[in-house]
Structure 1
C-alpha cells in the first residue's frame, strides 16, 4: 500500500510541476495584456530626450494644464546647456528666431512642452479622430509653416518635436515651443472680452496672417490636406497620408461637415427659434445652413464660390488663445490645432462673438430683435479689410467682403444654435435675424450654391 501511495504522489507532482513553472514564468515575465501596456512617456522623460537632442538639459518642469479629456499635458520647462563631458551637441544662438525668447547657450532658457499621449479608443469615434488629427495639424504648422511667417506676425518657434506611433496602439506627439510670455506677458485667459487696444492688435495680427497666406495657397497640394475627421480616416490611403501631416482642408472645427450630429439635434428641436430658419428646406432638399456651408467650404479640386478669397485661417480665434504686451498694442496667437483653408471672416465671426466688447459693436446696450451692421462693427471690419488688402496685394470688393462676412455669421450662428450659445449672444442672434430676412443676401447664397452644384458662373 505504501508503494502505491508513493507512486500516486510522484504522479501528482509530475503533472503539477509544468503548471507551477508556467505560473512562476508568467509572474517574472513582462505583462503584455491590453489592460497593462507600457505607461505613456512622462512629460519629464519626453522633455529631457528632446532637449538633449539640442544639447540642452532639463532643469525644471511644471505642469501648466492638462489637455482636454486627458489627452496630455502642457508644461513649462527651464533648460540649460548640457556641459557634461559626454555632450557632443552644442546649442547655437541661431536655434531660435526673433519669435523666441531663447538667449545665449550659457543662459537658462524657458520653453513650453505640449505633450499628447491620447487614450486608445476603438472604432470610428469622430471626436477622438478630430483631436488626434488636430494635434498632428498643429505640429505640422509649427514645424513647417510658422518659420515662413515674418516677425510682424509673431508665433511661437518650434525648438524640437516628435511624433511616434507605438506597436501597442499608443502614440506620443510632443513639441517644445519657445515661451511667448516674456515678450507677451498678458494672457487673454477666460475673460470673454479684450480691451479696445487688444481688439485692434488682434485684428492687425489676423489681417496680417490671412493676408500673408492668401497669395500663397496656390502652392499647396490640396490632395494632401486633412479632410473632415471621419472622411479622413476612411480614406484608402489614410495610413500613407498620416505620414505627411498637413493642415485642414477646411479650417476650424465648427463647420457643418464635422457637426452633423449637432445639426440633426437642431433640426429635431421644434422648440428652438432657429429650427425653421436654419434647418428647413429652402431649395429642394437643402436648408440655408447646408447652402451656406457649401458656399464657404474649400474644395480639394474644382470651382467653389469663395475660392479666390480663401486663405489660411487660425480656426479657433478667441481671447483664450492669445497673449498680449502689457500695453495691449501687440498680440501673439497660439493653439493652431484647427488651422486650415477658409475665409478670413470665419475667424472674425468667432472673435466678434466671443471676445470683442459689446460696446465696440453696437451703439446701445439694449439690442433690438433684428440688427443691421452698426458703425462700431463696420469700423472694426474696415480696419481688418484695409490691412488684409495691403498685406496680400489682392483686391477684395467691399460688398463681396460684407456678403462673405454675413455668410460666415450665419454659419457661426448655426453652430452656436446647435451646440450652445455663449459670448455676445443677443448681438449674434439679432444680426442673424437681419441677415436671414435680407432677400438680396439669400439670393446670392442660393445662386452661388446652385453654381457650385454644376450651374454656370455669371
Structure 2
C-alpha cells in the first residue's frame, strides 16, 4: 500500500495544506490514529487570510479527517503478556472487520446511533487504512473518563438504538460472534482461569448467550472511551468497530456498565441503568422493528445481562486476575449465575 498522508488528501480531491496530529498509538504497536486538519491554500495571501477571501467559496476550510493506519509490527507488545500468535491473528481479523464496517455500513447517517462515515478504506495483506469523518465536526467533540447520569443515559440510548436496528441483521463481513472476550477467541485465558466453578460453566454460559432470542449486532467494545459526546453531554456517537459482530445485546450493556460505573456504585445503579436502557429500547423498537413485541424482547434480554457479565468476568479473571474490574459486585453476580447453571444441570441429571 502506497501510504502517505498527502496521497490520502489527494485521493479525496482536497487541495489544501494540512497538519498531522497524532491522537494515539494503536494497541500493541500496530499503528496510529491521527487527525488531519486543513487550511485552504487558495485563501492564503502571504500566509494570512484576507477578510474578502472569507466570503468566497474557495475560502471554506475542508473538514478534518481522522486516519487510522494499521501496519503489522515485527513484534507486538502486550501490556499483560498475551502477545501470542492467537492474539496477533485476533487483532488482524479485527482490523479486517473494522475496515469492512466503515466501508460498507457507515455510508448512511443515522441520527439515533451516529457513527463517523468511512471516506476511504483500503486493505492489503499486512496493512489497513481507514479514513473517516472527524466526529468533532459532526458535533461530538468530547470524550469523558467518568460519566454522570446524563452521559451514561446518552450511551445507553445509542446502544438501544443500535441493537434495535440490527436485530436479525445478516452480515458476513463482521464477526460471527461479536466482542473481543467471547470464549471461542479466548482459550488461553480460560486455561489460565483459577476459578474452577466458573471455568466449569464457561461453555454453558457462552452457549446461553449464543442461543438467546433476538440476536442482533453488538458494538463489541462498548466502553465509555469509545463514545464521543456533544457539548451538552446528552447525545453521543460511537467509534472503534474492531469487534462488531453478531450476539446478545446485553454483552454491550454489561461492558459499558463495567467502564462507566465505579465498582462500589454498581449494585446501587444496576436497576437504574437497566430501566434506562430498556426504556430507550422500547422506543427504538417502534422505530426500527415495529413488528416485534417489546415485552418479548425485554423478557429474553433482561436475564441475559447477568449471564453476559459473568461471561465478561470469566475473561477478565483469566486475563488479569488482579484487575480492578474484579470486585465484590462482579464476583457476586458471577457466582449467582454459576450456581443457577449448576442447579439446572443437577435438575437435568435427575430427570
Q: Same fold (TM over 0.5)?
A: yes
Residue 361 to residue 68, structure 1, CA distance change in 2 (3 Å): closer
Match of 1:423 in 2: 325
Match of 2:129 in 1: 174
Report whether the alignment pairs 1:319 with 2:224: yes
Report whether the alignment pairs 1:202 with 2:164: no
Match of 2:182 in 1: 255
Tell whether the 8 Å contact from 2:95 to 2:242 is kept in structure 1 after alignment.
yes
Residue 105 to residue 253, structure 1, CA distance change in 2 (3 Å): farther
Residue 105 to residue 312, structure 1, CA distance change in 2 (3 Å): farther
CA distance in 1, matches of 2:21, 2:331: 42
Report whether the alignment pairs 1:112 with 2:25: no
Residue 426 to residue 149, structure 1, CA distance change in 2 (3 Å): farther
Q: What does residue range 54-453 of structure 1 map to in structure 2 within 5 Å?
A: 54-57=12-15, 58-79=17-38, 106-119=60-73, 125-165=85-125, 171-182=126-137, 183-188=139-144, 191=145, 193-215=146-168, 217=169, 219-220=170-171, 225=172, 246-266=173-193, 269=194, 275-279=195-199, 287-297=200-210, 305-306=211-212, 308-358=213-263, 361-363=266-268, 376-392=269-285, 393=289, 394-395=292-293, 396-420=296-320, 421-423=323-325, 425-438=327-340, 443=344
Task: Report the alpha carbon displacement of residue 356 of structure 1 after superposing the two structures with TM.
Answer: 2.1
Tell whether the 8 Å contact from 1:345 to 1:408 is kept in structure 2 after alignment.
yes
CA distance in 1, matches of 2:69, 2:98: 12
Unaligned stretches of 5+ residues in structure 2? 43-56, 76-83
Residue 444 to residue 140, structure 1, CA distance change in 2 (3 Å): farther
Tell whether the 8 Å contact from 1:295 to 1:445 is kept in structure 2 after alignment.
no
Task: Report the alpha carbon displacement of residue 127 of structure 1 after superposing the two structures with TM.
Answer: 1.2
CA distance in 1, matches of 2:103, 2:111: 16
CA distance in 2, matches of 1:162, 1:81: 26
Residue 72 to residue 340, structure 1, CA distance change in 2 (3 Å): same
Tell whether the 8 Å contact from 2:154 to 2:236 is kept in structure 1 after alignment.
yes
Cα-Cα RMSD: 2.9
TM-score by length of 2: 0.81
Task: Report the alpha carbon displacement of residue 337 of structure 1 after superposing the two structures with TM.
Answer: 0.4
CA distance in 1, matches of 2:236, 2:73: 34
Tell whether the 8 Å contact from 2:254 to 2:308 is kept in structure 1 after alignment.
yes
Tell whether the 8 Å contact from 2:198 to 2:334 is kept in structure 1 after alignment.
no
Aligned partner of 2:8 among 50, 56, 62:
50
Residue 435 to residue 292, structure 1, CA distance change in 2 (3 Å): closer
Tell whether the 8 Å contact from 2:14 to 2:62 is kept in structure 1 after alignment.
no
Match of 2:45 in 1: none
Task: Report the alpha carbon displacement of residue 214 of structure 1 after superposing the two structures with TM.
Answer: 0.9
Aligned residue for 1:186, secondary structure, equals: coil
Unaligned stretches of 5+ residues in structure 1? 1-39, 84-102, 166-170, 226-245, 270-274, 280-286, 298-304, 364-375, 451-458
